[in-house]
Amino acid sequence: MRSTIVLCLALSACVDQPDLTDDSAQLGASGRQRFEHVFAGTNGRSCASCHVLSDATSLTPAHVASLDRSDPLFQRIDADDPSAAVPTYRHLEKGLIRVTLALPPNMDVIDGNGNVVTNAARTIDVWRGVPTVENVAYSGPTFQLDGRETNLRAQAQSAITAHAQGGTVAQAHLSQIEQFELATFSSARAAFVATLAQAGVEESDIPMPEDWLVLSNAERRGRAVFDKACAACHGGATTHRITNRAVHDQLFFQLHPDGNIIYDIVGGQPVPRLASRPTDEFLNIGIGLLSGYGQLGALPIGNADVELPRYRFRFYTDGSRQTAVTDLPPIPRRADGTPVDLGDLNVPVDERGAPIFGPSLGVQWFSTDPGRAIITGDPVDFEAFDVPQLRGIARTAPYFHDNQAATLADVADTYSRFILPFPALGLPPIYRDSPDSPFVESLTLAEKQDLVAFLQRL
C-alpha cells in the first residue's frame, strides 16, 4: 500500500519535464546561482563553465568551438602543453579536460623497461570527458568516472580546487550546489525514478517509466535490443545496475606478476582464473584498450587525432613499495619471450594455447588512463570505470570516459564489434554491416539503428 501511495505521488510530481534554462523553484534558484557563480580567488570558471546548462550539463566540442579564447574555460591547466609559450587547446576542443590524480601509496609509474619513473609529486594526468550532473540523485553512491568522490559536496569542492584553481568554499555554498544537482534531471521519467528512490522504495520495486512511453516501431525494436544487449550492465530502473552477475564476475582476473591473466586448462580449453570482487561495480570493458589502439593509428576513433598519455604501472603489496605484485599493462611478448612488434594486434598464445594478454583482453603496450585502479590501488580495477546511467544520453555526446565515440551510432558500433561478443552475454559475432566490412559483429546494422532510436528517446 505504501509503495502504491508513493508511486502515485511520484507520478503527480513528474508531469512536466524539468527545464534547465528556467530558474524555477523546483530546481532551486539559489543552487543554480551557486552553480553559475564564480567564486573569489578562482581562475574565472564556475561549475557551469564545464557543466554547460544548455548542453545537459556536459561539455560538448561544439560549445568549446563557439567560445572566444578569452573565455575562462581556456586556462593553461587544460592546454595541450601548459608550459607552451602559445598554448593550444586541441584536447579541450574534443570536450576533454585534464584531470590530475594522486597515485596510491602502493603504485608507481614505470617505463617500457620496468624502470620506476614516478614524478616527485606522485601524480599523473589523464584526459577525460565531463560527465553530466543530470540524474545524480539516483546514479550514486559514488561520483566521477573513477568513483573517487563519495558525495556531491566533496565533488564540488574538488572541482573548485582543481579546475577553477580556487580555495575552500563554505559548506553552505557547497550544499546549495549539491541541492541544485540533486534536482537536475534529464526528463520527468528520471525525476520519477529519483522520487521513488528517495522515498525509500526498493530499487527492484521501482517500475521502468519507459514502460509508459509511446514508442515508434523502430524505438520499440530498439528497446528489445537494449534489453538483450545493454540491460546486463545498464539494468534496473536507474539504468546503471549490473544485473547479470555472470558478466560482472567474468571480468575480474587473477594476474601473473608480469601482468598477464592466469589461465588454467580445463577440458583441453584455456579458462581464465577469476578474482572474486562481488561488490565491485566498476568494469573494464576494454574501452581503455581501444583508446590505445586509436593512439597507434590502428582504430579510427574520435579522439585518435589528439595525443593521450602512455602509462605503465607497478602495483605493490603495500605503501612501502618494496614487494611488487604485478605490472600493467604487461609488455606484449610471445611464448618464447620475444616482444610483439608495436601495433601488431594479433594475440600471442602460450604452448598450451592460452592467450598471453592482460586484463583488458588484448595486446597492450600502454594505458591512457588506469581508471578505478588509481583510486583503489588494486590491479584488478585496472582500466575499470563507473557504469553510467543512460537517461538523457542523446544530449551528452561524445561518449565513454575519453570521448572516443562521437555519436550514439559510434557507441553502438563499438559495443557490437568489441564488447557484446563477450561469451557471458550470449551474443556471438555473426553479422557484418556489409560483405566487405572488416568487423564481425553481435548486432545487425538494423538492430544498431533501432537501438540508437531507442537511446535517443531514453
pLDDT for 355-398, tens place per residue? 999 999 999 999 999 999 999 999 999 999 999 999 999 999 99
140: in domain: no
Confidence at residue 21, expressed as pLDDT on a 0 to 100 scale:
45
Q: How many Å separate Cα 453 from the centre of its chain?
A: 22
In the chain, which residues have pLDDT < 50?
1-21, 23-24, 27
Confidence at residue 30, expressed as pLDDT on a 0 to 100 scale:
85
141: in domain: no
pTM of the model: 0.93
183: in domain: no
Confidence at residue 25, expressed as pLDDT on a 0 to 100 scale:
56
Grid cell listed for 408: 550514439
Say whether 300 sits in a helix, a strand or coil: coil
Confidence at residue 392, expressed as pLDDT on a 0 to 100 scale:
98
Confidence at residue 92, expressed as pLDDT on a 0 to 100 scale:
98
**How far from each other are the two terminal CA atoms of the chain, in whole angstroms?**
29
- Give yes or no for a contact between 262 and 273, defined as CB atoms under 8 angstroms apart: yes
- Give yes or no for a contact between 263 and 353, defined as CB atoms under 8 angstroms apart: no
Compute the distance between CA of residue 442 and CA of residue 229 in angstroms, rounded to an integer.
9
* Residue corresponding to grid cell 614505470: 110
387: in domain: yes
Confidence at residue 4, expressed as pLDDT on a 0 to 100 scale:
47
For residue 326, give its domain range. 57-129+206-458
452: in domain: yes
- Number of structural domains, the chain? 1
Question: Within 10 A of 274 (CB to CB), how many other CB atoms are there?
Answer: 15
Outline where 230-328 has alpha helix (H). 245-249, 287-295
Confidence at residue 280, expressed as pLDDT on a 0 to 100 scale:
86
pLDDT for 53-106, tens place per residue? 999 999 999 999 999 999 999 999 999 999 999 999 999 999 999 999 999 999
- Give yes or no for a contact between 55 and 181, defined as CB atoms under 8 angstroms apart: no
Confidence at residue 279, expressed as pLDDT on a 0 to 100 scale:
87
166: in domain: no
CATH code at position 114: 1.10.760.10
Confidence at residue 163, expressed as pLDDT on a 0 to 100 scale:
97
66: in domain: yes
71: in domain: yes
Question: Within 10 A of 402 (CB to CB), how many other CB atoms are there?
Answer: 29
